[in-house]
């Protein structure tokens, strides 16, 4: 008998078809928003799960699902998983690294450019019929080329953004990370390791690409924003909760920094109401990895993790040793 799995969110039909060759599949192809109780209920008799960042797998869920062996996340981030609880319950966790690196770095760079050059703010002005004449300082923003690019979190995506900045736009790249890169990786990114304080003080454009954890909660709050240049921009493509969104909205309103670009939010899909009222912020709905080829590659990798685990006893990109 085929093992039974749950696909917790809608996914590409061809990926569902591939899964159906190996598994009894229950899927949420209508993409309903399930409560934790509904997700738990659906998972109760399943051996595997295809999850996304919106599906929380914690000790409570695991306790109700003793047959569960693996959760394959269609995301590189996995803060929706309680990894310690999964390991304790003998449940393997997998994610989708590498396949989204370049697409997400493209988006981070695009969001930085849109933020610095005030693209959405000026588009709203145009659409509202307010553009009646040219003027010398209309939506004048800051330059990307030649500016100092600061990166907090220098993993694969951070390095992708650094390379784009250093090699494509002649940017001076500084970064801070839990651990310093080796000399060859620093040279490839033309990046200089600095303290967090120096990063905050020197960046013209600061991009956040670090994973969310208790340690990175509100890594950027009022105190950090106060250290940034008043002309600086801040981009968050990492996770909601890394930035204190209320403090950021206040800093943007008071022009303590020039502008922000946000793809992720505390409590998303809700967005802090103050962020919706300040003009100097570019807002996107958590789409940094959303190119069609990359989303397909992510879905295939999550599916292949399930297939490899059940057919060969070994997942492709495991996160724990369950
Ligand atoms: C998206 O946010 C991901 O973690 O893949």
The minimum-distance atom of ligand 1 relative to the CA of 77 is: 4
The minimum-distance atom of ligand 1 relative to the CA of 100 is: 5
**What are the boundaries of each domain within the chain?**
4-97+292-312, 101-283
* Separation CA 54–CA 34 (nearest Å): 10
Catalytic residue among 239, 266, 272, 295: 239
Cis status, amide bond into 321, omega within 30 of 0: no
* Separation CA 124–CA 111 (nearest Å): 16
Instruction: Name the residue at shortest CA distance from atom 1 of ligand 1.
Output: 75
Establish whether 102 is a catalytic residue. Answer: no
CATH of 4-97+292-312, one of 3.40.190.10, 1.20.1250.20, 3.90.550.10, 3.40.50.720: 3.40.50.720
Burial class (CB in 10 A: 0-12, 13-18, 19+), 58: middle
What pLDDT, on the 0 to 100 scale, is given for residue 322? Answer: 80
Per CATH, the number for 101-283 is 3.40.50.720
Which pTM was predicted? 0.97
Establish whether 286 is a catalytic residue. Answer: yes
Establish whether 239 is a catalytic residue. Answer: yes
Tell me whether domains 4-97+292-312 and 101-283 share a fold. yes
Spatial CB neighbours of 136, under 8 Å, sequence gap ≥ 6: none
How does pLDDT run along the chain (322 residues), one tens digit per residue?
999 999 999 999 999 999 999 999 999 999 999 999 999 999 999 999 999 999 999 999 999 999 999 999 999 999 999 999 999 999 999 999 999 999 999 999 999 999 999 999 999 999 999 999 999 999 999 999 999 999 999 999 999 999 999 999 999 999 999 999 999 999 999 999 999 999 999 999 999 999 999 999 999 999 999 999 999 999 999 999 999 999 999 999 999 999 999 999 999 999 999 999 999 999 999 999 999 999 999 999 999 999 999 999 999 999 999 8
Question: What's the 214 CA to ligand 1 centre distance in angstroms?
Answer: 18
What pLDDT, on the 0 to 100 scale, is given for residue 21? Answer: 98
CA atoms lying within 13 Å on the CB side of residue 195: 5
């Amino acid at each position: 008998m085929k093992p039974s799995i749950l696909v917790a969110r809608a996914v590409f039909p061809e990926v569902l078809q591939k899964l159906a060759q190996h598994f009894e599949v229950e899927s949420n192809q209508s993409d309903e928003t399930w409560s934790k109780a509904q997700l738990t209920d659906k998972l109760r008799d399943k051996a595997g799960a295809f999850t996304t960042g919106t599906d929380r797998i914690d000790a409570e869920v695991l306790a109700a699902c003793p047959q569960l062996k693996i959760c394959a996340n269609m995301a590189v981030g996995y803060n929706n998983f309680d990894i310690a609880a999964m390991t304790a319950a003998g449940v393997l966790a997998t994610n989708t690294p590498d396949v989204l690196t370049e697409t997400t770095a493209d988006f981070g760079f695009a969001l930085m450019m849109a933020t610095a050059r005030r693209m959405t703010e000026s588009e709203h002005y145009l659409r509202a019929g307010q553009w009646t004449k040219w003027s010398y300082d209309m939506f004048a923003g800051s330059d990307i080329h030649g500016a100092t690019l600061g990166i907090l979190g220098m993993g694969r995506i951070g390095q992708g953004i650094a390379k784009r900045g250093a090699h494509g736009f002649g940017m001076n790249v500084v970064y801070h990370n839990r651990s310093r890169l080796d000399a060859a990786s620093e040279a490839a990114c033309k990046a200089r390791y600095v303290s967090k304080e120096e990063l905050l003080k020197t960046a013209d454009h600061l991009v956040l690409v670090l994973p969310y954890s208790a340690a990175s909660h509100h890594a950027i709050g009022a105190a950090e924003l106060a250290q940034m240049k008043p002309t600086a921009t801040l981009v968050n493509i990492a996770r909601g909760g890394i930035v204190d969104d209320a403090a950021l909205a206040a800093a943007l309103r008071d022009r303590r920094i020039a502008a922000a670009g946000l793809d992720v939010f505390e409590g998303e899909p809700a967005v802090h109401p103050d962020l919706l009222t300040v003009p100097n912020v570019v807002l996107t709905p958590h789409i940094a990895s959303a190119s069609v080829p990359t989303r397909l590659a992510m879905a295939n990798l999550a599916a292949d993790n399930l297939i490899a685990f059940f057919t060969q006893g070994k997942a492709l990109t495991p996160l724990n040793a369950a």
